[in-house]
């Protein structure tokens, strides 16, 4: 065994911001790991990559990647990223944010960006609660879960994020857990090479809060749940992609081609300018 201090992916991380603030066993670290691993595989030009994140534990991701990055107000990462992508379509814009940020306060921006097919890539770390603020319920909290704002058990039905994304018009939709590290990395690589609105949901352990309140005290117990319950059903109906104690349906659900907003806009500009010259 040789003890070295330089991890091979460390060039993708801001050394002076490490170690990150995430709890032991937090899935956010795995999401970050898979993301930078995918960047490494693709030999992504870091000068052209912009990472945008919202508010939440996962929102700190933008501060950790060694790229141009922006940490927006709660829920507005996608709207901000829309501005970035349209202003400079050469940039690769990736949004890394959480279930609450993207689907509660940010829900409206998500569905519209998906509808318009803006070429931004969204990675959602879904840990079933609002971790940063102490563990409140969110739009993906399963029924009957205990959180700090549902002490008697949650009575709200959660979103099925892949169904929502597919219905809104995303051209690539996938769901993995933080246990499916290789397939997640491959999905990210695939997504980065597509043009249009892409979405990957990553089911992620929040052992410190969500897990603790819901009888999974350690990250290991949550990961064991993922291991036991996950079933890969790629290209099955996303409406039926459930997440329960017994079954977590993962896989790629949508992989289509559709002209992105930026492409259409620039085609229009070309048409307009042709006409004005005539």
How many residues line the site for another protein (CB under 8 A)? 77
Q: Which stretch binds another protein (CB under 8 A): 15-23, 125-133, 158-166, 209-217?
A: 15-23
In angstroms, the Cα distances linking 5 to 2, 10, 35 are 10, 10, 21
Closest C-alpha among 154, 152, 126 to residue 140:
126
Minimum CB–partner distance for residue 212 and another protein (Å): 14
Show Cβ contacts of residue 212 under 8 Å, excluding neighbours closer than 6 positions: none
Contact between 218 and another protein (CB under 8 A)?
yes
Region of 137-145, 154-162, 216-224, 240-248 interacting with another protein (CB under 8 A): 216-224
Give whole-number Cα distances, 235 to 13, 110, 163, in Å: 34, 22, 12
Asked if 205 and 220 touch (Cβ cutoff 8 Å), the reply is: no
CB of 46 or CB of 104, closer to another protein: 46
State yes or no: residue 91 binds another protein (CB under 8 A).
yes
Q: Taking CB under 8 A as the criterion, which residues in 116-175 touch another protein?
A: none
SS3 105: coil
Q: Whose Cβ is closer to another protein: residue 216's or residue 241's?
A: 216
Residues 40-69 interacting with another protein (rule: CB under 8 A): 46-48, 50, 52, 60, 62-63, 66-69
CA–CA dist 194, 131 (Å, integer): 31
With CB under 8 A as the contact rule, which of the stretches 132-140, 164-172, 236-244, 261-269 interacts with another protein? 261-269
If binding is defined by CB under 8 A, does position 37 make contact with another protein?
Answer: yes
Q: Does 80 bind another protein (CB under 8 A)?
A: yes
249 contributes a contact to another protein by CB under 8 A: no
**Minimum CB–partner distance for residue 46 and another protein (Å):** 7
User: Quick check: helix, strand or coil at residue 128?
Assistant: coil
Please give the Cα distance from 118 to 92 (Å, whole number).
Answer: 12
Q: Which stretch binds another protein (CB under 8 A): 20-28, 127-135, 140-148, 235-243?
A: 20-28
| CB closer to another protein, 155 vs 277 | 277
Long-range contacts of 59-63 (CB under 8 A, 24+ apart): 59/96, 59/97, 59/98, 59/101, 59/132, 60/20, 60/21, 60/22, 60/28, 61/28, 61/31, 61/32, 61/35, 61/96, 62/96, 63/14, 63/17
Residue 151: is it exposed, middle or buried by C-beta count within 10 angstroms (0-12/13-18/19+)?
A: exposed
165-184: contacts with another protein (CB under 8 A): 178-179, 181-182
Residue 22 contacts another protein per CB under 8 A? yes
Rounded to the nearest whole angstrom, what is the least distance from the CB of residue 274 to another protein in the complex?
Answer: 11
Asked if residue 259 binds another protein (CB under 8 A), the reply is: no
Comparison of 59 and 139: residue with beta carbon closer to another protein:
59
């Amino acid at each position: 065994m040789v003890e070295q201090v330089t991890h091979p992916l460390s060039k993708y991380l801001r050394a002076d911001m490490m170690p990150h603030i995430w709890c032991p066993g937090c899935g956010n670290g795995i999401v970050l790991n898979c993301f930078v691993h995918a960047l490494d595989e693709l030999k992504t030009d870091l000068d052209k990559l912009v990472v945008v994140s919202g508010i939440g534990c996962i929102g700190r991701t933008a501060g950790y990647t060694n790229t141009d990055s922006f940490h927006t107000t709660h829920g507005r990462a996608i709207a901000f990223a829309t501005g970035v992508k349209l202003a400079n379509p050469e940039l690769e814009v990736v949004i890394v944010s959480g279930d609450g940020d993207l689907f509660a306060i940010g829900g409206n921006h998500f569905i519209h960006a998906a509808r318009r097919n803006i070429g931004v890539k969204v990675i959602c770390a879904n840990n079933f609660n609002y971790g940063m603020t102490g563990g409140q319920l969110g739009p993906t909290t399963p029924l009957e879960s205990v959180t700090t704002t549902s002490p008697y058990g949650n009575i709200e039905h959660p979103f099925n994020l892949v169904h929502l994304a597919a219905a809104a018009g995303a051209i690539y939709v996938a769901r993995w857990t933080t246990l499916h590290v290789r397939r997640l990395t491959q999905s990210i690589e695939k997504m980065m090479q597509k043009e249009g609105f892409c979405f990957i949901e990553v089911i992620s352990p929040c052992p410190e809060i969500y897990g603790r309140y819901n009888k999974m005290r350690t990250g290991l117990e949550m990961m064991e749940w993922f291991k036991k319950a996950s079933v890969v059903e790629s290209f099955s109906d996303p409406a039926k992609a459930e997440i329960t104690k017994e079954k977590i349906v993962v896989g790629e659900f949508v992989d289509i081609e559709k002209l992105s907003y930026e492409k259409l806009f620039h085609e229009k500009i070309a048409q307009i300018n042709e006409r004005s010259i005539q």
